[in-house]
Structure 1
Amino acid sequence: MTVDAERPDLVVGDDGLARPRWASSDTLLREYYDTEWGMPVRDEHGLFERLSLEAFQSGLSWATVLRKRPAFREVFAGFDPEAVARFDDTDVARLLTDARIIRNRAKVLATVQNAGATLRLREDGGLAELVWSFQPDTTPEPRTLADVPSSSAESRALAKELKRRDFTFVGPTTVFALMEAVGIVDTHLLGSHRRGTSGVWA
């Protein structure tokens, strides 16, 4: 690997492709960056899963969540919101004893609550329609990692609306991370091989 002299936050891999440092030092993160992060997700199931995982990531590294994602999918019924909304105290107790996931009671309860909120949104267009309605007119153009914002006017507004709709663990930073992950904004560094590949931003 070599560092791009003009853009020191980019690392050129053995394959000749430039990636940010965070996606260059770990095989799992590199695969996630190359194939998934920032690609459009426009369905209820996909957005509910990513919203849930972003909530679990709060205060932790994304690598931790990504390594545990298969277990999360298993114990949360594939992140089917209809199934998760039916979880009761017994299910919560089961989850809190499962060492394969992040055992945070508040985050587990938030996931169950958010599943119910997701179902109720179906009466008003659905989760995907709501989330994507907050797509901004422009997207950041960061040259360095320091240029990447942690929130935006749109993420603050979406967080407020989600809370109004009875979602929880959806602060502006968590919501902005969701918007990055599902392609609503493109915060790939300029010069990265993934910049502009989502098709959302020309």
Structure 2
Amino acid sequence: MTDDRPRCAWPGHDPLYRAYHDAEWGVPELDGRALWEKLMLDGFQAGLSWITILRKREAFRRAFRDFDPERVARFGEGDVAALLGDPGIVRSRAKIEATVGNARAYLAMRDRGEDFSRFCWEAVGGAVRQNAWRAGEVPTETAESRALSKALKARGFKFVGPVIVYAWMEAVGLVNDHLVTCFRHGELGGEPPP
């Protein structure tokens, strides 16, 4: 049976991409560690397509010890060298080293009593920003993503520019950017399509 429900155009007909769109993209994430993992993956996406990262996600999880910040923060030069030789992930020294540094930044926030989930959700006032975009209207960055990017950088994070941060905000449901014509828009709290 063909699933012909109206969707955002970006997943096309790729089954993996459609499954991600239908079940995961835009679903509000509240767990701080999961938010951090997804932010790291969006950083690896810089200059690439998301489907590339999605296809490598399980390899990334193995390589980065299930994105456990405690474990990743202890990575040294030997670990970085091993990751640079891992064909299952994106082998960018800058992105790998940024992930290690970002684990340390995440832990530093925690040690200061700053909850990562609360910090992220404060960027949208603590509730999903319900947008009502049509095709061609979705921005690549917003005032909120610029402010959150700046706040993350001030805490030592790297590969968190406003465009990366906005893509991540969409992915983790801080904003509902499913098009109003997409069946997921209404399911995730937006008004049903007209």
Q: TM-score range by the shorter chain?
A: over 0.9
* SS of residue in 1 equivalent to 2:3: coil
**Contact between 2:6 and 2:182, CA under 8 Å: does it hold in 1?**
yes
- Which of 120, 131, 134 is equivalent to 1:131? 120
* SS of residue in 1 equivalent to 2:118: helix
**Contact between 1:118 and 1:126, CA under 8 Å: does it hold in 2?**
no
* Equivalent-residue separation in structure 2 for 1:33 and 1:128 (angstroms): 22
* Equivalent-residue separation in structure 1 for 2:169 and 2:25 (angstroms): 10
**CA-to-partner distance for each residue in 1:149-180, whole Å, 9 max, x for gaps?**
00000000000000000001100000001110
**CA-to-partner distance for each residue in 1:125-171, whole Å, 9 max, x for gaps?**
22111111001585331110x20000000000000000000001100
* SS of residue in 1 equivalent to 2:175: coil
* Equivalent-residue separation in structure 2 for 1:150 and 1:124 (angstroms): 31
* Equivalent-residue separation in structure 1 for 2:16 and 2:106 (angstroms): 29
- What pairs with 1:111-190 in structure 2 (closer than 5 Å)? 111-122=99-110, 123-135=112-124, 138-144=129-135, 146-190=136-180
* SS of residue in 2 equivalent to 1:23: coil
Structure 1: gaps (5+ residues): 1-12
Determine the structure 2 residue equivalent to 1:110: 98
Once superposed, what is the RMSD of the aligned Cα atoms? Answer: 1.5
**Contact between 2:180 and 2:186, CA under 8 Å: does it hold in 1?**
no
**Contact between 1:114 and 1:167, CA under 8 Å: does it hold in 2?**
yes
Identity %: 48
- What pairs with 1:7-156 in structure 2 (closer than 5 Å)? 14-122=2-110, 123-135=112-124, 138-144=129-135, 146-156=136-146
- The number of equivalent residue pairs is 188
Residue type of the partner of 1:153? A
* Equivalent-residue separation in structure 1 for 2:81 and 2:90 (angstroms): 13
* SS of residue in 2 equivalent to 1:124: coil
Residue type of the partner of 2:109? L
Instruction: Give the superposition deviation at 1:19.
Output: 1.0
**CA-to-partner distance for each residue in 1:83-136, whole Å, 9 max, x for gaps?**
100000000000000011000000000000000100111123221111110015
Residue type of the partner of 1:81? P
Instruction: Give the superposition deviation at 1:16.
Output: 3.2
Instruction: Give the superposition deviation at 1:198.
Output: 2.8
**Contact between 1:150 and 1:173, CA under 8 Å: does it hold in 2?**
yes
Instruction: Give the superposition deviation at 1:35.
Output: 0.5
Instruction: Give the superposition deviation at 1:76.
Output: 0.2
* SS of residue in 2 equivalent to 1:87: coil
With normalisation by structure 1, the TM-score equals 0.89
